[in-house]
Structure 1
């Protein structure tokens, strides 16, 4: 795709009559949400292929990754962190529990809330996945130095703050 737009993409809009650039003027290669979708779709596809060889799904990997660094979360919190629908997360946790990778226990102060924790078997399973995840991560950021990476992550945090729906 050729670059067509030389104006400011992030124009301040002062009222409903203000001139906004068109998608055609900006172009897909200058439209950050499009690029983010492409990057994440490619990351998810590559990782899913690599995880398939380890006989684990992306949803299970996300749950185990989160649980490997936090002592306990609720299903709702885990769904938010994993960017997964709660119904999908519930089915994923059923499977992980059947495999002995997680434990769900009611909270003593509120029996309606279930805390999810990782078991030693789940931790070992995640530790076997981690090298694959980290290697895919390094491929994605090949040629990007540490300072660029830190700037990129800082910008992502600012964007997330702008669009945040959940406190986590």
Structure 2
């Protein structure tokens, strides 16, 4: 059996790379739009739907309930997201973007794509396609091991 060397342990390296990219993006979102990463994730996911519950947002973003709740409260307080009754479940609300939230999304989305392009500028289109495919396979192979998926 070989010894664990953290710098060669792929889950660790994946986490470090993810943290580094997230940190760079978080700095840009905070400086330009006064958004934290969880807030941006909620805005982006909500923008792709007609409204979601906080529980559905947690599943979609893979963030815990407390993080989703805090981000949702901050966005509602800023007037970027509104809560409306859920016709399918009276105990929950659907979150949707306000006009101001939609305008913000339309400003942030191009910046997000620009940041992605900067991060991957040193990669060929084929490398990026391969990386996307590998990420999908990695997520699929890790899903059965995830206690939250059970």
Scaled by the length of structure 1, the TM-score of the pair is 0.77
Over the aligned positions, Cα root-mean-square deviation in angstroms equals: 1.9
Q: Which has the larger radius of gyration?
A: 1
Structure having the larger proportion of residues in helix: 2
Aligned counterpart, 2:27: 49
Aligned counterpart, 1:38: 16
Mapped pair 1:97 → 2:80: no
Mapped pair 1:146 → 2:125: yes
Aligned match for 1:131, one of 96, 106, 110: 110
Distance 1:101 1:140, change over 3 A: same
Scaled by the length of structure 2, the TM-score of the pair is 0.85
Superposed CA deviations along residues 9-49 of structure 1, whole A, max 9, x for unmatched, are xxxxxxxxxxx43213xx62x42212211111111111121
Superposed CA deviations along residues 48-101 of structure 1, whole A, max 9, x for unmatched, are 211121211111111111112222222112122223221121121112112221
Q: Distance in 2 between matches of 1:21 and 1:138?
A: 38
Aligned counterpart, 1:4: none
Q: Distance in 1 between matches of 2:15 and 2:88?
A: 41
Q: How many residues align?
A: 145
Q: Where do 1:64-75 residues align within 5 Å? A: 64-75=43-54
Mapped pair 1:120 → 2:99: yes
Q: Distance in 2 between matches of 1:76 and 1:21?
A: 42
